[in-house]
Amino acid sequence: MCIFCKIVAKEIPSNAVAENEEFYAFHDINPKAPVHVLVIPKAHFDSFKEIPGDVMGRMSTFMQETAKTLGIDESGYRIISNIGEDGGQEVKHLHFHLLGGAKLKWGHFADADPKDFI
Ligand code: 5GP
Ligand code: ZN
């Protein structure tokens, strides 16, 4: 069982934000912003590549509600899902990072000079 499936099964403790029968939102153990919450489907999908559109639709609604619960709906936030090797995905159970609570910086995402990509 993967680490996030163990969190869903409560074999590993986590700090809950919101939950329904299909999805779970909990605080990231290593926050990178004042609000850093992970949103996952309770069912295991390896990454965003595997999630069916209807489940993604319901997950979008759940993330919108979670942002309201966190009090960042008006101030704004960022949603990120890292996918695979180049995406930097460490945990192979689909998750969205929900980040906010401060004005977020916008990065430089690769080591190469962006001009080299054009
Ligand atoms: P990824 O790099 O796969 O997109 O992000 C994985 C995230 O999961 C990281 O931000 C990391 O801090 C978080 N994380 C890893 N293990 C645990 C855990 O056991 N509990 C919680 N709450 N977060 C975790
Ligand atoms: Zn899993």
Question: Is 115 part of any domain?
Answer: no
Q: Domain of 89?
A: 3-103
The pTM assigned to this predicted structure is 0.96
Cα–Cα nearest to 31, from 44, 17, 10: 17
Residue-wise pLDDT tens digits, 51-75: 999 999 999 999 999 999 999 999 9
Cα–Cα nearest to 79, from 91, 50, 94: 94
Mean pLDDT of 27-46: 98
32 vs 17: CA distance, rounded Å:
17
Mean pLDDT of 34-43: 98
Whose Cα sits closest to atom 16 in ligand 1?
29
Which amino acid belongs to residue 77? Y
Question: Is 59 part of any domain?
Answer: yes
**Residue with more model confidence, 96 or 112:** 96
65 vs 73: CA distance, rounded Å:
9
What does the pLDDT read at residue 109? 82
Mean pLDDT of 101-117: 84
What does the pLDDT read at residue 88? 96
Question: Is 117 part of any domain?
Answer: no
Which amino acid belongs to residue 86? D
Q: Which domain CATH number covers 55?
A: 3.30.428.10
DSSP 3-state helix, strand, coil percentages of the chain (rounded to 5)?
30, 20, 50
47 C-beta closer than 6 A to ligand 1: no
